[in-house]
Amino acid sequence: MRKKHLILTFVFSLSFFSCGNGEFEQFYANYEDFKKIPNKRLTGWFPEIITRDSYEIKNSSHLDICAFCSIKYRNKKSIDSIFSIYKSVPVSNFKIVLEKYSEKTPEWFPNIDSERKFYNVIKLNNHVWALREKNKKQVFTISLLMNE
């Protein structure tokens, strides 16, 4: 009985510690690769702003709380179209959310300095914020498990 208990404890511990901090990284070279994903649960943390001209699509998900995403676009009109649909929000609001999750922020995510650069920020829904630097063809998003 003791041996069985030890084995169960080991299996439970291994399962628990293998989950680590819940971080899950994804990268897709282009839209075609992204669309080929057979398990749609793997695309759940990506915002619905990925278009045919998207490339270098990356995501760092912390399954318990949030996800960070970067999407590059070949055509600036795609981004302009996305940012024209949603209401702009102050960069300072985005910074507050970013600071709240600073320990989870991947190093490839931009360090927002609203004093030196001009950014556009929109809120796609209650859970997803999107940011772009003016005249760049890249969008960064934060998706949250809870409303912010």
Domain map of the chain by residue range?
A: 21-144
Whole-number pLDDT of residue 1 = 56
Angle, vertex CA 69, rays to CA 86 and CA 137, nearest 5: 65
Give the span between the Cα atoms of 15 and 31, in whole angstroms: 34
Query: Beta strands 119-123 and 23-30: pairing type?
Result: unpaired
Please give the helix or strand (H or E) that residue 28 lies within, else none. Answer: strand 23-30
Along the 148 residues of the chain, how does pLDDT read in single tens digits? 555 433 333 333 333 334 445 788 999 999 999 999 888 777 777 888 999 999 999 999 997 799 999 999 999 999 999 999 999 999 999 999 999 999 999 999 998 875 556 899 999 998 899 999 888 999 999 999 876 5
Q: Do 139 and 76 form a contact (C-beta atoms < 8 A)? A: no
Among 127, 31, 121, 32, CA closest to 82: 121
Predicted TM-score (pTM) above 0.75: yes
DSSP structure string for 2-17: HHHHHHHHHHHHHHHH
